[in-house]
């Protein structure tokens, strides 16, 4: 925790709302990014941001000043995202890898493209496929994958956070990667 | 034997057990097929980033919007008063001093004069009072909502009218911005009270009003004409002003009816 953050947290714990405002302003973008990755939805991400700071405010008294405020807040944001994901009505059925084969139609071109407009088109198509593949993940697969891939959490940490057995967390990540691979295979240039 | 795909994934994320890590690394270095499979996996996973995920670039002033939405909830959201008092050593000191003063005053009073013994209050009277209080609670809540909410809607209406009709740059609306900031907090309280009394039409209106108030409160003096025009458009397209006027006059009628009812009851 930076010296400034530590001093601001101390003031906020004393009930100084301007200090808490400074913390909100300093960390809200990072919390939003995490929330959006986890929920995949801008309005859910906004709700998670609000809930995260509200919980942080309520629990400031329990925050240990030696700890890193950003890390502490990050953990709260992950929990808020998980709570929101769990509260969502369960998807009717998560897509199977086989479903994604449909997406596996040949892209505009399967070889590396040099010309810049075509390259842009290709990257837009890649993005579209990644978005579709992410949408096809079950909520737990998405959460596990995001925590591993974007947030750098270990599989053991992920299993604790999501309340899964280590093997179940591992397999959620495997399934997620497999779906991504199937969706993106045609875009990866052959060696 | 080739490395299974799952192990390649674990290798990519550095999650293989240490005894397997060396073996898998060595195999990937030697086996052409596994090397190719791993390279493709690497390329694929490296392309999955925030941009690909569609995480939007946040607008300038995002932090202000977060704060404007959050601030009204904080005073009520902070843990109980006890936890607040004991969360900081300086407050704890003040609390201790205050407790010592009160206790001393109490004992000083006991020593200086003997309190006359009061006859016990009949338990039936206590029960009746409690029952009356409970019965009146809903009426009081309803009345407060009618009177205060009416005033709140009038104040909000003035801000909205000012925004919609006045001409000028965003910097000229500092007054409206401050008023909107104060109204957001009150608006949220009224919405919760209305929700508790089950008044869904008022809840919907306050919900819509809150979104506009938050936006106005969070706007900066540097907001462009276009942003201001967006807020105006939102007020107009949702017929917000019209709805505020309708609910406001409805509240006025209900207030009059409530007063007539009270008058009739007291004359009985």
Task: Count the residues in chain B.
Answer: 268
Chain A residues with CB under 8 Å of B32 CB are none
What would the mean pLDDT of A107-118 be, rounded to a whole number?
A: 44
Among all residues of chain A, which has the CA nearest to that of B8? A174
The band of A128, judged by pLDDT with boundaries at 50, 70 and 90, is confident
B55 touches chain A (CB under 8 A): yes
The answer to whether residue A98 scores a pLDDT higher than 70 is no
Do residues A39 and A45 lie in contact, with contact meaning Cβ atoms separated by under 8 Å?
Answer: yes
pLDDT of residue B121: 46
Do residues B86 and A15 lie in contact, with contact meaning Cβ atoms separated by under 8 Å?
Answer: no
The band of B23, judged by pLDDT with boundaries at 50, 70 and 90, is very high
Distances (CA, A) of A3 to A9, B1, B155: 10, 53, 43
Would you call B20 exposed, middle or buried from its count of C-beta atoms within 10 A (0-12, 13-18, 19+)? middle
Query: Other CB atoms closer than 10 Å to residue A112's CB: what's the count?
Result: 10
The pLDDT tens digits of the residues spanning A135-171 come to 888 888 999 999 999 999 999 999 988 888 999 999 9
Task: Give the best residue of B67, B81, B90, B93 to mutate against chain A (max A CB count within 10 A).
Answer: B67
- Tell me how close the Cα of A89 comes to any Cα of chain B, in angstroms: 22
Q: Which of A14, A174, A191 sits opposite B9 (nearest CB)?
A: A174
Q: Is B233 helix (H, G, I), strand (E, B) or coil?
A: helix
The band of A40, judged by pLDDT with boundaries at 50, 70 and 90, is confident
pTM (2 decimals)?
0.54
A89 vs A10 pLDDT, higher one = A10
The band of B259, judged by pLDDT with boundaries at 50, 70 and 90, is low
B33 vs B175 pLDDT, higher one = B33
B73 touches chain A (CB under 8 A): yes
DSSP 8-class letter at B15? -
Do residues A23 and A12 lie in contact, with contact meaning Cβ atoms separated by under 8 Å?
Answer: yes
Write down the mean pLDDT value for chain B: 73
Percent of chain B with pLDDT over 90: 14
Question: Do the chains contact at A25 and B84, CB–CB below 8 Å?
Answer: no
Supply the DSSP string of chain A, one letter for each residue: --HHHHHHHHHHHTT-HHHHHHHHHHHHHHHHHHHHHHH--HHHHHHHHHHHHHHHHHTGGG--TTS-HHHHHHHHHHHHHHHHHHHSPPPS-PPPHHHHGGGGS--S-SS---SHHHHHHHHHHHHHHHHHHHHHS-HHHHHHHHHHHTT---HHHHHHHHT--HHHHHHHHHHHHHHHHHHHGGGSPP-
A19 vs A4 pLDDT, higher one = A19
A12 vs B122 pLDDT, higher one = A12
Candidate CATH numbers 1.20.1730.10, 1.10.1740.10, 2.40.30.110, 3.90.199.10; the one for domain A3-87: 1.10.1740.10
A180 vs A187 pLDDT, higher one = A180
Euclidean distance between CA atoms A61 and A14, whole angstroms: 9
Residue B199 makes CB contacts below 8 A (sequence gap 6+) with B145
The band of B59, judged by pLDDT with boundaries at 50, 70 and 90, is confident
B13 touches chain A (CB under 8 A): yes
Domain ranges of chain A: 3-87, 97-187
A61 touches chain B (CB under 8 A): yes
Among all residues of chain B, which has the CA nearest to that of A153? B13
B18 touches chain A (CB under 8 A): no
B46 touches chain A (CB under 8 A): no
What would the mean pLDDT of B214-224 be, rounded to a whole number?
A: 75
The answer to whether residue A34 scores a pLDDT higher than 90 is yes
A28 touches chain B (CB under 8 A): yes
Of these ranges, A94-103, B66-75, B133-142, B169-178, the one predicted with the greatest mean pLDDT is B66-75
What would the mean pLDDT of B69-73 be, rounded to a whole number?
A: 85
The answer to whether residue B192 scores a pLDDT higher than 90 is no
pLDDT of residue B31: 93
Q: Which of B45, B71, B84 sits opposite A15 (nearest CB)?
A: B84
Query: Other CB atoms closer than 10 Å to residue B101's CB: what's the count?
Result: 10
Task: Give the best residue of B8, B32, B59, B66 to mutate against chain A (max A CB count within 10 A).
Answer: B66
Do residues B144 and B193 lie in contact, with contact meaning Cβ atoms separated by under 8 Å?
Answer: yes
A141 touches chain B (CB under 8 A): no
pLDDT of residue B34: 94
The band of B184, judged by pLDDT with boundaries at 50, 70 and 90, is confident
The answer to whether residue A178 scores a pLDDT higher than 70 is yes
pLDDT of residue B8: 95
Tokens standing for B7? Answer: 């192990």
Chain B residues with CB under 8 Å of A19 CB are none
Do residues A122 and A113 lie in contact, with contact meaning Cβ atoms separated by under 8 Å?
Answer: yes
What would the mean pLDDT of B96-120 be, rounded to a whole number?
A: 48
What would the mean pLDDT of B27-49 be, rounded to a whole number?
A: 91
Supply the DSSP string of B165-213, one letter for each residue: H--S-GGGGHHHHHHHHHHHHHHHHHHHHHHHTT-HHHHHHHHHHHHHH
> Alpha helices of chain B — where are they, by DSSP H?
5-12, 18-30, 32-46, 50-53, 62-77, 81-86, 89-112, 123-165, 174-196, 200-218, 225-237, 240-267
**A78 closest CA partner among A57, A49, A106:** A49
Candidate CATH numbers 2.40.50.100, 1.10.10.10, 1.10.3720.10, 3.40.50.620; the one for domain A97-187: 1.10.10.10
B66 vs A186 pLDDT, higher one = B66
Query: Other CB atoms closer than 10 Å to residue A44's CB: what's the count?
Result: 17
Residue B258 makes CB contacts below 8 A (sequence gap 6+) with B142, B143, B146
The band of B262, judged by pLDDT with boundaries at 50, 70 and 90, is low
pLDDT of residue A118: 52
A91 touches chain B (CB under 8 A): no
Task: Give the best residue of A16, A18, A28, A153 to mutate against chain B (max B CB count within 10 A).
Answer: A28
A64 touches chain B (CB under 8 A): no
DSSP 8-class letter at B13? T
Domain ranges of chain B: 5-53, 62-112, 135-262
Among all chains, which residue has been given the structure tokens 């690909």? Answer: B52
Query: Other CB atoms closer than 10 Å to residue B188's CB: what's the count?
Result: 20
pLDDT of residue A149: 95
Among all residues of chain A, which has the CA nearest to that of B12? A149
CB pairs under 8 A between A and B: 118
What would the mean pLDDT of A184-190 be, rounded to a whole number?
A: 77
């Amino acid at each position: 925790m930076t010296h400034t953050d530590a001093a601001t947290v101390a003031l906020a714990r004393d009930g100084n709302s301007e200090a808490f405002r400074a913390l909100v302003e300093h960390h809200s973008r990072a919390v939003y990014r995490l929330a959006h990755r986890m929920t995949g939805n801008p309005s859910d991400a906004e709700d998670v941001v609000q809930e995260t700071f509200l919980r942080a405010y309520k629990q400031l008294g329990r925050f240990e000043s030696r700890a890193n405020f950003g890390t502490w807040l990050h953990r709260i944001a992950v929990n808020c995202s998980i709570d929101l994901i769990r509260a969502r009505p369960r998807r009717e059925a998560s897509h199977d890898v086989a479903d994604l084969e449909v997406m596996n139609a040949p892209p505009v071109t399967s070889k590396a493209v040099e010309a810049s407009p075509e390259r842009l088109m290709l990257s837009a198509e890649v993005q579209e496929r990644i978005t579709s593949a992410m949408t096809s993940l079950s909520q737990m697969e998405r959460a596990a994958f995001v925590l591993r891939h974007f947030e750098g959490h270990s599989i053991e940490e992920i299993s604790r956070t999501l309340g899964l057995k280590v093997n179940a967390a591992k397999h959620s990540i495997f399934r997620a990667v497999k779906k991504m691979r199937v969706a993106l295979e045609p875009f990866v240039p052959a060696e | 034997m080739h490395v299974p795909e799952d192990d390649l994934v674990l290798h990519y994320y550095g999650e293989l057990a240490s005894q397997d890590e060396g073996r898998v690394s060595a195999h990937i270095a030697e086996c052409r097929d596994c090397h190719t499979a791993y390279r493709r996996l690497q390329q694929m996973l490296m392309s999955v980033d925030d941009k690909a995920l569609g995480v939007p670039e946040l607008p300038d002033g995002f932090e202000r919007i977060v704060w404007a939405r959050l601030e009204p909830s904080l005073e009520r959201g902070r843990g109980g008063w006890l936890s607040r008092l004991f969360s900081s050593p300086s407050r704890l000191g003040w609390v201790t001093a205050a407790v010592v003063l009160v206790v001393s005053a109490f004992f000083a009073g006991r020593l200086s004069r003997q309190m006359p013994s009061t006859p016990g209050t009949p338990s039936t009277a206590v029960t009746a009072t409690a029952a009356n209080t409970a019965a009146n609670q809903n009426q009081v809540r309803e009345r407060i909502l009618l009177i205060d909410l009416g005033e709140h809607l009038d104040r909000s209406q003035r801000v909205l009218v000012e925004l919609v009709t006045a001409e000028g740059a965003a910097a000229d609306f500092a007054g409206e911005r401050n008023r909107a900031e104060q109204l957001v907090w009150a608006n949220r309280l009224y919405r919760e009270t209305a929700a508790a009394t089950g008044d869904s039409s008022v809840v919907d209106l306050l919900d819509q009003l809150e979104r506009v108030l938050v936006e106005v409160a969070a706007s900066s003096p540097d907001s462009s004409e276009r942003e201001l025009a967006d807020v105006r458009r939102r007020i107009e397209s949702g017929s917000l002003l019209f709805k505020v006027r309708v609910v406001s006059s409805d509240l006025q009628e209900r207030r009059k009816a409530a007063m007539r009812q009270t008058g009739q009851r007291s004359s009985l």
